[in-house]
Structure formats: C-alpha cells, structure tokens
Structure 1
Amino acid sequence: MPKRLIILCFAFLLIVSGKLGAQVKSPFSGDFTKFRTELTTFMGPNLNDEQKNSLQSFLTKWDSTSYKQEDKTRIIDIISQLYGRFMRPVPNFNNFIVTLNKFVDWKTEPGFLTSWLTGLSEIVFDPRYPTENIDRYIRNTGLMITDNVISEVSGMRWKVKNTKLTFLHDTVFKAIINDATLTCYSQKDSTEIYNVSGVYYPEFQQFHGTKGIVTWEKAGFPRDEVFAELSRFYINTSKNSFTVDSALLTHKTYFKAPVMGLLTDQTIPVTNKVLATYPRFETYTKEFHLDNIYEGIDYKGGLTFEGANVKGSGGSNISAEMAFRREDTLFLKIRAGEFMFSKDGLASAEAEMTLYLNKDSVFHSNQAFSFNAKDKQVNLFRANNPVSRSPYFNSFHNLDMYFELLSWNM
C-alpha cells in the first residue's frame, strides 16, 4: 500500500509539472522571422488606439534599419525575460515598446540603446528587482530621452535642465550630468540645485553629485547673498528631499567667510516667502561670536538657518548665549538651547537669565524670553515648563521673588 501511494503521488507530480510547464511556455521562440507575428499575437486585440500606433511604429522600425542586428538580438532576449517575469502586454510590454520607439524618434546618440539594453537585461535577470521597479526604470528612460527627466515617482519628478544628458555603460548603466540645473518638482513646488555635476544611476535611483549650489531665493534672499556650495553628495531621487554633509554656506549678513555645516532641502509648498522653512543649514561650529546683532547685544553659539528663519543654537552640553551691555558693561545674560532671530527681535521658549547688580544678581533657570528690537524692550515671563513657576533668586536682597512678567526698556 505505501509503495502504491508513493507511485501515485509521483505520477501526480509528473502530470502537474507537465501542465505547469505547458502553461509557462514562452510565446516567443527567439526566431527573428517569427518575432513580428509573435509580438503582435502576444499584445492581443484589446489595445487602444495609442497602444496600437506604438506597436505599429515599433514594427515598422523593426522591419527597417532603425535597430542594429545586435540590438534586435538583445530586444528579443529582453522580451523573453520580461515574459518570464510575468509582465503583461499592458502596461509593461507597451511601456518597453514606447521607450524603444523614443530611442529612434529622438535620434539618440550611437551606442546609447546598446548600453541601455545591456543594463536592462542585467536588471530583469536579477530577482532582487521587482517588476514594478523594472517597469518604472523603462518608463523613466523614456522620460530621460524626451524630457531630460531622470526620475518620476508618484507625482514627483527630478529633471535636468540646461544640458544634454550623456549615457554610458561600464559595470552599470548611468547618465552623466555636467554644469546643469537639477530640479525636483513635487506638491506644486520645486527645489533646485544650480551648476550641478555628477552621475545618475537609474537602476538605483541615485544621483552622485560632485558639485552644486543651493540658494535661499525661495525664502526671499538674493541668490548672491545666501547660498550653499555642495561637493560629494548623494540624492535618492525617489524622495523629494536631500541632505548634504560638509556644505559651505555663504551668508553675508552673519559671516565674513563661508562656514561648513549640514544642508537639508525639501520641496514644500510656500504661499509666502517669509514663511519658508527650507532650505535648512546647521553650522558645525557652535561658538560663533557675533557682536551687536542688535545695538548692545552680542551673541555666542551656533546658527541654524531654516528658510526665512534664523535660529541660534547650542551644542549638546553648551547653551547659546545673549549678552546685553550698557556702556560696555554686562548687565544681562540669557542662555538657551535655542533662540529665534527675526527682523523684529529675539525670542526663546525656555531660557536661563542672569541680571547683574554689581557683584550680585537676579537669577532664574527657566523663563520664556523675548526682545522687541523696535522698542528695545526685554521681556521675561513664565514658560510652559513647571520649573518656570519657581521664584527668581535675588542675591542682592537675599530673597525669592515671585511675579509673572519682568519687563524693561533698554
């Protein structure tokens, strides 16, 4: 009985395997003389007019000298590979046909198609790449040819302007970009990198930049007054944001020479430049000394630029500091993890204050702070932190003082 059961199971497996083999048999024989008919049959009778026109245009080119013989061989091989990945006539095969047409219609440079087909074959053969990634790669190649768009994902696109792309294939397929403008369009906004050079790898959706410039124009600053210079940076073009280490910021209001720091930019719709929060730049140095940022007020600490906003910031163990002087004599010191700078004045949500009275002082460890530049008015008031409700300590009178607001004009 067990032997009979084993034999029956084995026979069943042979039958199922045979049926499965018949089901996955490719409709493409690899025979050049049959390819035209095989492709037409596979695409089926249900194509819309645009898809029919694309197929007919491709077949016309196929029958002419538009494609080299070696490229035809690669195309047939890739067609079989795509079928083996269970890709469908529409949209997958249609996208491949549309892109192949663009190579001819847009008169791409010699060798471009050969390089691309070689790279595509490697990608399709690699099981790590899902079919949707392969299909996007094919569509994005068409966009590179017609619109200089290197990537388009979910309504977001990265486009190269002011230069022509050059394509190469050594170990992988890549696009060379020199002295161009690289723009990301997303959410009805755009972010641009000027004078950019580098290499784009469509297979990985990665741009490896060697140089570029980001300006603060969308935050209302002139291009030549506030800008960051980039070198050796990487952008994932499936995202609408990027971060660059060791960028050099020129900001003529705050620095005499460029400073190094971390740059972040992102496409976010902005209705008013004053409200812009990107690009962002955080200085690596946390001990800048800026004298007279307002009359009689000196600043020490790091600086972070967030679009139209400027923030003073401390390090992990160092607070940023504002020193208020009257006739060169220090009378008030404010320390905080973060200060907000604006044209109207200064502010901090939580700050430590020391008001000097000769050798004595009035001190509080946690108060909200603001400075009105127009009226030269200093305000200290309770913050949300429970510590803020504790009293001021007055060493001159040796007593605790309780009040909601401490305010005076300088």
Structure 2
Amino acid sequence: MSFSSFGQRFKAFSENPDTYVAELTEFYLSDANMKKDKQKEYEALILQYADVFNAMPVQQKKDVMKLSNLMLKKRVRPLPGFYDFIETQIAFKTTNQSNESFNQWFKGLNWTIESSTLGGFNNAVNSSLNLVKYNTLYSTKIVDWKVKHNGYNIRIDTIRGPYVDFTSDIDLTYSSQKDLNTIFSTKGKFYIVEQIFEGFGGKVDWSRAGLPKDQVYAELSNYNVSLKRAAIIADSVLFTNKEYFQHKLSGTLEDLCSDKVGDVTYPRFYSYKREEIIKNVFPDVDYVGGFTQQGGKFLGYGTAVEPAELVIKKEGKLFCKAKAILHPFSQEGIASPDCQITFYINQDSVYHPGLLFRYNKSQKEIACINNKEGISASPWVDSYHAIDIYTEAVYAKLDGHTLEFTSIKAPSNTVSFASFESNNYYTEAKWDKIKGIDEVSPIYRVKGFVDKYKKKNIPVKEFARYIGFDETQAEVMLMRLAIDGFINYESYRKTAIVKEKIFDYIKANTKKQDYDNLRFVSSTKNSANAVLNIFDMDLRLYGIETFSLSDTHFVNIAPNKGEIVMKKNRSFEFNGKISAGRFNMGGEKCYFDYERFALNLPKIDSMAFYVPLFEDTNKIIKIQTPLQNLVCELLIDDPKNKSSIKRVPGYPMLSSLEESFVYYDQPKIQNGVYLREKFFYKLDPFKIKDLMTFKTDSIRFTGIFKSSGIFPDIKEPLKVMKDYSLGFIIETPSTGMIAYGGKGQFYNR
C-alpha cells in the first residue's frame, strides 16, 4: 500500500492523551508495506512506550501529540521515522535524562520538522536515538562516531537547528569496519541536522600506527568534521614527535579510517613551514624542509621548487647534501627515493641528479643506490677529476675518509662493474647510439630549444610542445640524455638543466672542437671499483682493463693488477705496460699528464719496438735487442689536438731524458757470460718522432760500448742490423785494436 493510500485511512492524531497510544498502533497497522516481524517489534515498542507516555507531564504529552501531527503532515512513515521517535523518548526515560534536555530535544525536532526536509528530520531523529541510547553521534554499516562523555546539553541554533553541546571533555571515536581512532579530551558541538561536529581542543595520537602515544601526537585547536566519513581534517594543530625533536610543529592534521589490510598511512600531519630547520635530527645530520608524519612513517618533505634537504656534516664541516621531495625517517635512519646528492670535498664536489639515498644511523653510513628507476643510471659528476662515473652504488662513512664506488652490497662472489669517462669524451659510436633511428638527434633537439627560447632550463611540457611529441615521449628523451651525462634531469619538477657538454659534443661531432677518448672500464670481484680518499683526493681505480689514450696513435695502457690512481683533471699514476705506435714498454711510477697530453715515465725497465722489414716496408718485425733502465717522456699529441683531428707531424714523440742501456747477459748470448755490470752499451738521451711511421734506417742511438775490458770503450752508434738486433760494425785499423788491456790485439770488423 502506498503512503498516500494509508494516509487516507489515517489522517491525524486526535491529540487526546487517552487514545494517543492506541492511535499509534492504528497508524503502524495502516502501513501495508511493513513486514510481520517489524509489526511485532513495533507492537512490543508501543507496549513499552505506553508507560513512558502515561508518566509524562500534561504539557509534554500535548507537545508529543502536536509534533506527531506535524510529522504526519511531513509524510513521516511508521518506519523509520515514528519508530525512532518513540524509541528515543523511551531512551530519554531509561537513561535518566533531565526534563530540560528532553524539552530542548523536542524544540529541536519542532525546528527540524518545520525547517528541514523529510530526510533531514529522519536523520535528526535517528541521531538523537543513537546519542541518547548508544552514545553514538552517527552510525551506518561503514562509519561510526561514538562519544565517551560526562553529560551534555541539547540546544537550539535559530539558523542551524538543534545541536548537542559538550562543554566538558569527551573522547570522540571514529571508525570504519576494521579501523578506528580517537580524539581524546576534546569539546564541541554536534549539529544534529547537518551531521557536523565542530570541535575545539583535544589530542590525536599515532598508537594505531604502532608509535607510543606519549611520544607522537597532535594537539588540536578548532576543527569541523562531517560525520558521514570516518575522517578528520584539522588546521593549526601542534605536532610532537619526541624521537626527532623536542619542540612542537604547527600544521595540518588529516586522518582517515581505512579497511585496507596493512594500510597504516594515517594519521597524517603536514607542517606549515617548508623551511623547518632541525639540528641533529640524527648526530651530524641536520634537516631543512617541511615535515609530515604518515602513519608510522616520519617524512621530511618539500616541493618541486624547494625540495627538502638533509645536511650531513663530517668533523663539523659540510660533507653531503641530499635533496628530495620526500625524506622518510625511521629509527634506523633515512631512505629517500629520487634524491639529488652532492658530496662536498675541499673546494670540489661529486654530484648525482637523482637516485636512492640511504643513511644508516647506527653505522653512520651513507649509501647512494642506482635502483634502476628514473635517472638513477645517470653518471656521478666528479669536478676535481673532471670525469663522469657510472656505478651501481656509492658508500661513505662519517667516521671514515673515503667514498667507495662499487656494486650494491651483497653476499660474496659479487662481480662489480663501473666505468669512468672524461667529461670531454666523444666517440662516433656513442653519437650514433644516441641518435638511434630518429631523423633528428635528441642532442640537436635540445640545442634547438635552447637557441629558440634562450634558456637552459627545459620544462618537459614546453619541450614536448617544441618537438611535437607527447609529454611521456619528451620526458623519456630527456631522461636518456641525462643517463648519457648531457643534462641534469630533476624529475621532481620535470625539468632538464642543459650542461655545456651537449654543445661540446656537437662541436666534437662537427670537428670544430677538440675532445678525447679517455674511458676506463672496471670489473672487480668482492671489492670496490674505485675509492676516493677525501684527504688527498686520490681516486684509486681497480679492475681496470686495457684502455686507450689515443686510438689514432695506438697509445694504450695495461695497468698492473688493473690499478691506477686518478689525480686532478684526469691525470693519473700507474704501474704497467704502455704501447705507443710501434713501441712497447713496462714501467713503474708512470704519470699521465692530461693537460700536456703526455706520459712521464721515470722508470722503464725494458722497452721493445718494431721496425719495417728491409725488404718489405709493409710488414714489421720486433727488434731483438731491448732497451733497458730508461727515464722517458712520451708526448702523445699536441695538447690542443687530443682527438688527433689534425695531423701534427712528429707525434707521438718519445724522448729518453737520461742515459739508458743495452745489456748482453741473456742466456742466448754466450750462455749469459757477459754480466751487465761490466758489459753493456750506454745510450745517450735520444728522441724518436712519429712512433707509428718512422723508417728502419732512421733508428740511431749514440752512446758508448763498454766490454768489461775486452776492448777499449767504443763510441759507435747503435743501428738496426740485418738480423734485426741493435749493434754496430767498425773496421779495426791495420795495426789492430788493443784487447784485454794490451794483452792482445784484435784484427777484424
């Protein structure tokens, strides 16, 4: 039966107290839509209500009957409206509420029936019932707001209607099906029709996130919440986290009850101040930025314009800065994704635009990890050594004195790879790889943008419009250039910062600028690829394969044990083998001077070289006689022509700076009878140019031959003999040559 049809059968209450209860029964029986089980509940309720109604003062009875007729005109149905109305009256009686509260409640319902909608009235009656009977402000299948109180007053706001005034401290608990939290010791007003609670004061803690309630909490000022969600947002709260600081932070509180398993990211606090300075958040670690507490996670946070910053000191001096949008703190330390990191060492720096940053509080160790995301594969930029470093991880301890470039720490038998490139490194192969199948190289696209807009900061959106690609494609292009070391890409603000290297690379490609091909590849097992000593700035590289200083001139280095020591601006020391043109040598304490593009070779044990065959200059053969104990200098090319773009005559050029020797104590020569201490050829300093193209007959070493007293000292230059040894031929005079100190005479060639 429709409401209109039963409305015709039951039009009004007579307002006779003696018949009112019976009329209620007639009213609910007129609702043909009510199920039998509900009819039985209604019948039991009215039986209980009869005693309550009959005990009311006369005026209250009149008020009830008058309101009942107003409800009927408003088309309030037996269920839920009248049922809740009756049950609330019973609850007022059974919970010993005062007549004043009852009368105020009644006034509120009168205001609501006249000023609100049918739905608003039903909500008001239901909320009243929940409050009086269950100490609940709002309740559905998925949201509950309960209150623990010591009393309240019901009042009327002429505009907003009835409200419950909690003037003494209450605990207000909000919950979803599987989650809850409480505002402790708060006060406020519950506006029944609006389903809004306006509170002031109180405290919210983080105990549901596993944090001690006396250590982490927020103190509220004024706040408003809609009770239809198990959530609060409050401004101007004061936040305390005694784990990290003692003073209170001002900011915003957000909380949401969630039924997701393991989702403990609430409550959340966000500080207002974005430049909060916390000294010694950990020992020797300062923090600058905003703060947010999200569940059990305490996070430093910033913006794309002003990222949050960790300032790490070593012996009181700035050692490292780590910038990121988020810095998650924990009792163990910090783990910040997509973090821009700079190590400050003396007047120089080692910089990376974005990777995973970790700080272990107990070990006082910094770990910077390439986590294979975003631009983490970009190189570290080392200003002192003028190189780009590609490595999986960098580690540094505050109580140590090194930066360690290596793989991510793992169980033993780990093979670690790294590479080290000069910041003037260029190869055609790398240029082609960057260009790929694109019609226009990404390098030229970036240059075109810079030329057009006269700026080196490139927002992704603007770059996408310029090249006619979507933003995702444009961002990928910029990130790849960052990984190749041409730009710094700040992913948190989606902006590329163009480095001078991109213009140098274009000039190198068009042969308008010099470059080098200095690149070191390292492979180690269970050890670091490189270690930087922050005291003397020596960068020790390990596991280095044979590498080239000049492809054009065939100048290559094979360091002993794969070790070299990098000095300032790409100069380095090493022990090992050197090949230059047709010369091979092994030396100790060798030094490559990048500026001069030269090798200082103070201790060459042995030098061998090849010459063209006499009968076929297209073929070469090794000279049988090695030169030994040399002090040399090798000029690889003109210092302004490291790429050997131009042909500069004379290079590479080898100079012997001091006397050197040829010895004849090899077993193949008279069974080694000629001891080197007395039988040798001492060479004068010499210079050989064009080490790759010299002619065989141009080889001529001046010096003196000492034969252990067999002959007088002979000053005859060494030349390449027919058997491709170094020697000389002299004609003895007709009188012969004195031999063995005058004991004999030698006649021959």
Q: CA deviation at 1:55?
A: 1.0
Asked whether the 8 Å contact 1:186–1:240 carries over to 2, the reply is yes
Q: CA deviation at 1:52?
A: 0.9
Q: CA deviation at 1:56?
A: 1.9
In the other structure, the counterpart of 1:192 is 182
Asked whether the 8 Å contact 1:228–1:247 carries over to 2, the reply is yes
Residues 183-230 of structure 1: CA deviation (Å, up to 9, x unaligned) = 123223321111111121111111111211122233333333332221
Q: Distance in 2 between matches of 1:377 and 1:130?
A: 66
Report the structure, 1 or 2, having the larger helix content: 1
In the other structure, the counterpart of 2:454 is none
In the other structure, the counterpart of 2:652 is none
In the other structure, the counterpart of 1:258 is 248
In the other structure, the counterpart of 1:247 is 237
Asked whether the 8 Å contact 1:196–1:209 carries over to 2, the reply is yes
In the other structure, the counterpart of 1:267 is 257
Residues 23-68 of structure 1: CA deviation (Å, up to 9, x unaligned) = 6575215442653443221111845433212112223433x2x223
CA change 1:74–1:383 in 2 (3 A) is farther
**Local SS of the residue matching 2:310:** strand
Determine if the alignment matches structure 1 residue 53 to structure 2 residue 25. Answer: no
Q: 1:209 aligns with which of 199, 203, 216?
A: 199
In the other structure, the counterpart of 1:161 is 148
Amino acid at match of 1:35: Y
Q: CA deviation at 1:370?
A: 1.5
Q: CA deviation at 1:269?
A: 5.9
Q: Distance in 2 between matches of 1:347 and 1:147?
A: 46
Q: Distance in 2 between matches of 1:308 and 1:237?
A: 25
Asked whether the 8 Å contact 2:343–2:349 carries over to 1, the reply is yes
Q: 2:134 aligns with which of 147, 155, 167?
A: 147
Asked whether the 8 Å contact 1:26–1:83 carries over to 2, the reply is no
Instruction: State how 1:217-228 maps to structure 2 within 5 Å.
Output: 217-228=207-218
Q: CA deviation at 1:124?
A: 2.5
Structure number with bigger Rg: 2
Q: CA deviation at 1:158?
A: 1.6
Q: CA deviation at 1:257?
A: 2.5
Q: Distance in 2 between matches of 1:369 and 1:43?
A: 70
Q: Which stretch of structure 1 is more off in the superposition, 79-88 or 356-365?
A: 79-88
Determine if the alignment matches structure 1 residue 343 to structure 2 residue 331. Answer: yes
So what's the TM-score if we normalise by structure 1?
Answer: 0.84
Determine if the alignment matches structure 1 residue 102 to structure 2 residue 91. Answer: yes
In the other structure, the counterpart of 1:377 is 365
In the other structure, the counterpart of 1:81 is 70
Q: For structure 1, list consecutive stretches of 5 or more residues without a partner in the other structure.
A: 1-19
Amino acid at match of 1:214: V
Q: CA deviation at 1:351?
A: 1.0
Asked whether the 8 Å contact 2:138–2:145 carries over to 1, the reply is yes
Q: Which stretch of structure 1 is more off in the superposition, 239-248 or 373-382?
A: 373-382
Amino acid at match of 1:189: D
In the other structure, the counterpart of 1:112 is 101
Amino acid at match of 2:231: S
In the other structure, the counterpart of 1:353 is 341
Q: CA deviation at 1:246?
A: 0.4
Q: Distance in 2 between matches of 1:22 and 1:149?
A: 33
Q: Which stretch of structure 1 is more off in the superposition, 95-104 or 39-48?
A: 39-48
So what's the TM-score if we normalise by structure 2?
Answer: 0.48
Residues 282-327 of structure 1: CA deviation (Å, up to 9, x unaligned) = 1112222233333332222221112221101124521111122222
In the other structure, the counterpart of 1:392 is 380
Q: 1:323 aligns with which of 311, 321, 335?
A: 311
Q: Distance in 1 between matches of 2:391 and 2:157?
A: 73
In the other structure, the counterpart of 2:456 is none
Q: Distance in 2 between matches of 1:52 and 1:369?
A: 70
In the other structure, the counterpart of 1:43 is 28
Asked whether the 8 Å contact 2:162–2:191 carries over to 1, the reply is yes
In the other structure, the counterpart of 2:58 is 69
In the other structure, the counterpart of 1:403 is 391
Cα RMSD of the aligned pairs, angstroms, is 2.7
Asked whether the 8 Å contact 1:325–1:332 carries over to 2, the reply is yes
Amino acid at match of 1:365: P
**Local SS of the residue matching 1:134:** helix
Q: Which stretch of structure 1 is more off in the superposition, 100-109 or 382-391?
A: 382-391
Asked whether the 8 Å contact 1:27–1:38 carries over to 2, the reply is no
**Local SS of the residue matching 2:305:** coil
Q: Distance in 2 between matches of 1:227 and 1:281?
A: 9
Give the number of the structure with larger relative contact order, counting CA–CA contacts within 8 Å between residues 6 or more apart. 1
Q: Distance in 2 between matches of 1:366 and 1:401?
A: 14
In the other structure, the counterpart of 1:174 is 163
Asked whether the 8 Å contact 1:28–1:35 carries over to 2, the reply is no
CA change 1:392–1:49 in 2 (3 A) is same
**Local SS of the residue matching 1:388:** coil
Asked whether the 8 Å contact 1:350–1:383 carries over to 2, the reply is no
Instruction: State how 1:124-143 maps to structure 2 within 5 Å.
Output: 124-126=113-115, 129-131=117-119, 133-143=120-130
**Local SS of the residue matching 1:111:** helix
Determine if the alignment matches structure 1 residue 301 to structure 2 residue 286. Answer: no
Q: Distance in 1 between matches of 2:22 and 2:193?
A: 31
Determine if the alignment matches structure 1 residue 277 to structure 2 residue 265. Answer: yes
In the other structure, the counterpart of 1:27 is 11
Q: Distance in 1 between matches of 2:52 and 2:396?
A: 83
Q: Distance in 2 between matches of 1:208 and 1:314?
A: 31
Asked whether the 8 Å contact 1:148–1:165 carries over to 2, the reply is no
Q: Distance in 1 between matches of 2:238 and 2:143?
A: 28
Q: Distance in 1 between matches of 2:236 and 2:52?
A: 50
Asked whether the 8 Å contact 1:140–1:151 carries over to 2, the reply is yes
CA change 1:256–1:31 in 2 (3 A) is closer
Amino acid at match of 1:396: Y
Q: Distance in 2 between matches of 1:26 and 1:49?
A: 20
Q: CA deviation at 1:231?
A: 1.5
Q: CA deviation at 1:385?
A: 5.2
Amino acid at match of 2:153: T
Q: Distance in 2 between matches of 1:22 and 1:315?
A: 63
Q: Which stretch of structure 1 is more off in the superposition, 298-307 or 385-394?
A: 385-394
**Local SS of the residue matching 2:144:** strand
Q: Distance in 2 between matches of 1:26 and 1:44?
A: 10
Q: Distance in 2 between matches of 1:26 and 1:174?
A: 32
CA change 1:110–1:384 in 2 (3 A) is farther
Q: CA deviation at 1:80?
A: 2.6
Amino acid at match of 2:296: A
Q: CA deviation at 1:353?
A: 1.1
**Local SS of the residue matching 1:76:** helix
Asked whether the 8 Å contact 2:139–2:145 carries over to 1, the reply is yes
Amino acid at match of 1:53: A
Q: Distance in 1 between matches of 2:5 and 2:210?
A: 65
Amino acid at match of 1:154: K
Residues 104-162 of structure 1: CA deviation (Å, up to 9, x unaligned) = 23332012222222221222233x5343x432321221221123222213342222214
